Amino acid sequence: MFMRRALYTILLIAPLTIPVALTGGTAAATSYPTARIAATGQFPGAAVSAVGQSQCAKPLAERSGNWLCPARPIPASTASSSGGYCRKQGCWYVYSVTKSGYSATGYFGYDDTQLGEVQLYFEVTLNGAHSVSRPVRFESSAAVVNLIFEGNRLLYTPRYPAGTQVGSAGNSHVAGNIPAGETVQWTPNGYKAYYNLASEQSVWHEWSWNMADYPGTWYFWAKSVKFVDVGEGTYHFGDDDDLGENPAGSGYSNG
């Protein structure tokens, strides 16, 4: 599924072919304090140029085609009690050396019509070289169709400062058609992966969906805070701003 959205619009990193897991369910939102916002100029990140984001600087009446624009600040309902580090594309949190999270809000539309607002969240827990993303969550103010969640592990080296996929860690699940206002998450066990052959890694997730009566596929992706090998096959998260290049993005494809 991932290949139908061109890699040059998604990660703009080295060659990255991420194979493409989620079933429906609801989850109650929790109220948290407002997250810390990064200083001006720290977003949107080097070389991010997702298709459709060029419309975001235009007034609504002047927009053309599909667009998906990240919003800030992040609503408290998806933020964390951890202060977090925020850019325009979302907020990253480190809860402990083995647990981190990400949250974001975006507005999507077509031409001069805003179709809906999405709220996104995922949380990653480490156990040795194992990672479990749970919950991986999505909510839209408008009904969507063909919702897909995807996940993968990325490794980082001087050659790949924005990350590249590891082995066959990719997985996905088609959630299908989701009513407006329903919070959906990857169940029953979220996204799981294992890789111990790189000293610096992260977890990557993408949400993609269609709208009835409108062309194209909207997508939003993000990478977790990076985690490093601290010895004997144990990995720990760094600081909440330890993200590498191009940590998140959004846009649309014609598929």
The pLDDT tens digits of the residues spanning 132-146 come to 999 999 999 999 999
Instruction: Identify the weakest region by mean pLDDT among 32-36, 81-85, 182-186, 244-248.
Output: 32-36
Tens digits of residue pLDDT in 48-79: 334 456 789 899 999 999 999 998 655 444 55
Q: Where are the domains of the chain?
A: 2-253
pTM, entire model: 0.79
When mean pLDDT is compared across 9-13, 23-27, 118-122, the lowest value belongs to: 23-27
Assess whether pLDDT exceeds 80 at residue 98: yes
User: What is the predicted pLDDT for the residue at 114?
Assistant: 96
The dihedrals phi and psi of 77, each to the nearest 5 degrees, come to -65, -20
Q: Please tell me the distance from the alpha carbon of residue 24 to that of residue 187, in angstroms, as a whole number.
A: 7
Q: What is the pLDDT of residue 72?
A: 65
- The residue-averaged pLDDT of 231-249 equals 95
Measure the CA–CA gap between 252 and 233, rounded to whole angstroms. 38
Q: pLDDT at residue 243 above 80?
A: yes
Average pLDDT over residues 3-32: 31
Looking at residue 36, its pLDDT comes to 26
Q: How much is the pLDDT for 10?
A: 35
**Mean of the per-residue pLDDT values of the chain:** 80
Closest CA to 119 of 131, 103, 97: 103
Helices (H), ranges, 31-158: none
pLDDT in tens, 168-197: 899 998 999 999 999 999 988 999 999 999
Cα end-to-end span (Å), the chain: 10
More confident residue, 239 or 42: 239
Percentage with pLDDT > 70 across the chain: 75
- Whether residue 4 has pLDDT greater than 60: no
